[in-house]
Structure 1
Amino acid sequence: MEVFMDIVEFLKPKFVLMENVVDILKFAEGFLGRFALSRLVRMNYQSRLGIMAAGCYGLPQFRLRVFLWGALSSEVLPQFPLPTHIVLVRGGAPVKFEENVVAYNENQCLQLDKALLLGDAISDLPMVENDEKRDELPYGKSPKTYFQYSIRLSAQDLMDPSCDPKKAKLHNTLFDHRPLQLNEDDYLRVCRVPVKKVPDYAMSFIKGKSPKPFGRLWWDETVPTVVTRAEPHNQIILHPEQNRVLTVRENARLQGFPDYYKLCGPIKERYIQVGNAVALPVSRALGFALGRAFQAKVGADPVLTLPTNFPHFGNAAGEATN
């Protein structure tokens, strides 16, 4: 973090946006978060810290992350975009930073979109085996949900906020739908994990103790967060019905990567690229907030409400893109 701030001090950009895990606010009573804020203020930046959950912006994973805005005194400090979706809470912010969580007030009457579940995101993808090696596959199925229509848009249509995903021509080649191949021992263990919900099910593997090895995800639930390592020994990352871990593409969808986006490198590196990324709907919402600040079209509030049906908001597209 100190190196990041040194780079900011050297470049002196008009705007700064930093992202990190919530643990930076848990270590030493939030020392790292306070350090980042103080460095920006010392460099004559306005600053604002917010905690955002990816699931609040239309993804089936919770993924709580810390974001820090900075803006020179000559600029307008960007706001944080308020949630567009209900979210199934899978964790919380440190008590001392609860006021920094980007959320509506509890007494507000809202009509947010329903929470997305795992099935909403990946149920249209074809079955693959543990040893799948192909980097390109046909879909074999039509999209079933609005999320699946949107994620299968072409690059051109995805950039058009007036596009109706259900009427657009969809991307026709599926990239990166292959899992990290498990070794024989792990694969045999996975094959024994039930494909139906069993309360508190876990398979022990080290001295008979482990809280959640070889656990399945479920269609009607959300994922706590996408991880960088597809290892079933200490994370619940098994497909609900197939005997394998989630594929690179399935993880990419949970992060909001469009299907036309093709990853590169060895299979493990692709998982890392996806797991380390900022969730795309969150990035898009923050980008919208930055654009409004750059145009000086913001108020004094630290938060803003995104357009209805963001990012595909029809008649409001002209105002948002001009």
Structure 2
Amino acid sequence: MNVLHFKNNSQNRDVISLFSGAMGLDIGLAKAGLNIAIGQDFDAACVATMRANGHKVLSGDIRDIDPADLLEQVNLVPGEPFLICGGPPCQPFSTAGKRLGINDPRGSLFMDFIRMIDYIRPRFFIMENVKGIMSAPLKHVPLAERDKNDPEQQLGTVLDVILSEFQKLGYKTVYGVLDAVNYGVPQFRERFVLIGSRDNENIFMPIPTHFQMHQNASYRWQTLGDTIRDLEYDCGECAAFSKERLSFLKLIPEGGNWRDLPTDLRRIAMGGAFESGGGKVGFYRRLSYNQPSPTLVTSPVQKATMMCHPTQNRPLSIREYARIQQFPDDWIFTGTSTEKYRQIGNAVPVGLAEALGKVVLSVADQNAAIQTKRFRGTDVHQKLKMALEIGGSCYAHK
């Protein structure tokens, strides 16, 4: 079987999406010019959302899916798909909590992502996750039991295993942590991204397109006001804060948090968290129209990660959540309110996804760079290059 024949078929841009969720990643890739042939997810609400928006879906646990059956669904053979994309469940690799990593059953799902790549042999793949995957230990050892002299505890990270597996499959990879705000998304949201090339092509991380400072307004970071101000009095379906929490939030100015409460109320409002460490910036947080949104979480009403509207005494609505993640206004989300918030909060922002799609297309079409005989103005151009790299740290791996 010749897996390289795809390079002769410039019109084929078929994508197989795994762990698709509400399809934020897929919408962005489609905007870049790719064709989402099929999506997959285990979550019933996500599957219903994909179908409600007219997309072909394979429902079920990826551990039970035969890649041959997946290819048959879209009438493709190994080596033909342009791209496989997906974000295996990331809770085990979060920087919060126990970080069980590969010891968590969900953490092993990235091996099924690799299994799909191994059989299907797409020209490219994109894998996204939380940035904690870069340092998540392969073996979780409770802090009290850690011994730096124990060789069994020096097993490396989950990322080491992922990179090693893709290297065995013959894929060239590049990875890094990207902040969505640098790609036109009105939200600070750092995500780990790994891009792979089957054919040893010159892949790279997307270059930032938006900046905190720029002489042209269209290239500056997008703010919350730019994105949701028109929904202020027409927000649609929305969660609610408890009466007690709302009584404190009413005292918080736009852009403030619990530290802006009267001194005598801070301990009362915070409860046991008052004595805990950390910045605690998410407690009684009221957002600002003049800044990008903080990272959206799966619920806007949790005590430590509140997402209170800048001027209204309510959390961000489902429709506002979707705007911040850049879903189309007519995108249909199914399920309960809790399920809708979770689907949107877990999604890849559309703008970041579009930038990723444009990267693989530019690599495939070999038009990503302007070739010159000489790089003039070395000092000036090096400073510009450093400015561009604020989008995140990038790492190459072969």
Does residue 121 (structure 1) correspond to residue 231 (structure 2)? The answer is no
What CA distance in whole angstroms lies between the structure 2 residues aligned with 1:271 and 1:27?
Answer: 27
Does residue 275 (structure 1) correspond to residue 340 (structure 2)? The answer is no
Structure 1 residues 266 and 221: alpha-carbon distance in aligned structure 2, compared to 1, 3 A threshold: same
1:244 aligned residue = 314
2:240 aligned residue = 181
1:16 aligned residue = 125
Q: TM-score normalised to the size of structure 2? A: 0.53
Pick one of 134, 151, 156 that aligns with 1:25.
Answer: 134
What CA distance in whole angstroms lies between the structure 2 residues aligned with 1:48 and 1:195?
Answer: 40
Structure 1 residues 11 and 120: alpha-carbon distance in aligned structure 2, compared to 1, 3 A threshold: same
Structure 1 residues 15 and 261: alpha-carbon distance in aligned structure 2, compared to 1, 3 A threshold: same
Q: 1:70·1:77 contact (CA, 8 Å) conserved in 2?
A: no
Q: 1:201·1:215 contact (CA, 8 Å) conserved in 2?
A: no
What CA distance in whole angstroms lies between the structure 1 residues aligned with 2:255 and 2:296?
Answer: 22
Structure 1 residues 221 and 287: alpha-carbon distance in aligned structure 2, compared to 1, 3 A threshold: same
Letter in 1 for 2:207: L
Q: 2:172·2:196 contact (CA, 8 Å) conserved in 1?
A: yes
In the TM superposition, what are the counterparts of 1:83-98 in structure 2 within 5 Å? Answer: 83-87=208-212
Q: TM-score normalised to the size of structure 1? A: 0.64
What CA distance in whole angstroms lies between the structure 1 residues aligned with 2:175 and 2:215?
Answer: 24
Structure 1, 217-226 or 193-202: larger mean CA deviation: 193-202
How much has 1:199 moved relative to structure 2? 8.5
Letter in 2 for 1:24: I
Deviation per CA, 1:70-128, whole angstroms, max 9, x where unpaired? 1112x63433221111149xxxxxxxxxxxxxxxxxxxx99781222211111111415
How much has 1:12 moved relative to structure 2? 2.1
What CA distance in whole angstroms lies between the structure 2 residues aligned with 1:239 and 1:59?
Answer: 18
| Structure 2 SS opposite 1:48 | strand
Q: 2:285·2:308 contact (CA, 8 Å) conserved in 1?
A: yes
Q: Rg bigger for which structure? A: 2
2:30 aligned residue = none
Percent of aligned pairs with the same residue? 28
Deviation per CA, 1:228-256, whole angstroms, max 9, x where unpaired? 12224011410111111111111111112
State the superposition RMSD in angstroms.
2.9
How many residue pairs get aligned? The number is: 233
1:59 aligned residue = 185
What CA distance in whole angstroms lies between the structure 1 residues aligned with 2:340 and 2:242?
Answer: 19
What CA distance in whole angstroms lies between the structure 2 residues aligned with 1:72 and 1:226?
Answer: 34
Structure 1 residues 300 and 6: alpha-carbon distance in aligned structure 2, compared to 1, 3 A threshold: farther
What CA distance in whole angstroms lies between the structure 1 residues aligned with 2:171 and 2:161?
Answer: 14
1:291 aligned residue = 361
